[in-house]
Amino acid sequence: MKENLKVEIFKGFDFCKKFRIELKSTFRHNQSVLIRTFDLETLMTTKIRAVLYRNWEKISKKEKTVISVKGKDYFDLLRYLQQGIIPNLKSIEGIKNLEELKEKLIEKVKKIDSRSIKLDL
């Protein structure tokens, strides 16, 4: 069975410098790899920031918007919510508490195009 590891490099994570980084080891196919990653609370926060602030579109050859949101952002956020993870609120500008975050996320979700999420996933 073939397994893939996706590595994303983004240099705009200055807001996360003060948060805990974990080392996770994985062993597959007789190989061991150490991975530096943020804790789950901070990873969830980066996903929330993506949902709230990412401007992304997939444009057709005819210059029309085909997909208006990254469906994976919403899928990943749902997975964190299902696990009961509480985000690091300190790293989300303008959010004072979980209730305010919930309101902003609900407001954003009400505006999304569900067709775009399906197409992107």
pLDDT (mean) for 1-6: 68
pLDDT (mean) for 114-121: 77
pLDDT at site 78: 92
What three-state secondary structure class fits 3? coil
**Contact residues for 65 (Cβ-Cβ < 8 A; gap 6+):** 57, 58, 59
pLDDT at site 17: 66
Per-residue pLDDT at 39 exceeds 70: yes
User: How confident is the model over 42-77, as pLDDT tens digits?
Assistant: 889 989 998 898 887 778 788 887 777 888 888 999
What backbone torsions phi and psi does residue 27 show, to the nearest 5 degrees? -130, 115
Q: Which residues pair with 67 in a beta bridge?
A: 58
Q: What is this structure's pTM? A: 0.73
Q: Where are the alpha helices (DSSP H) in 1-121?
A: 40-53, 71-82, 98-111, 114-120
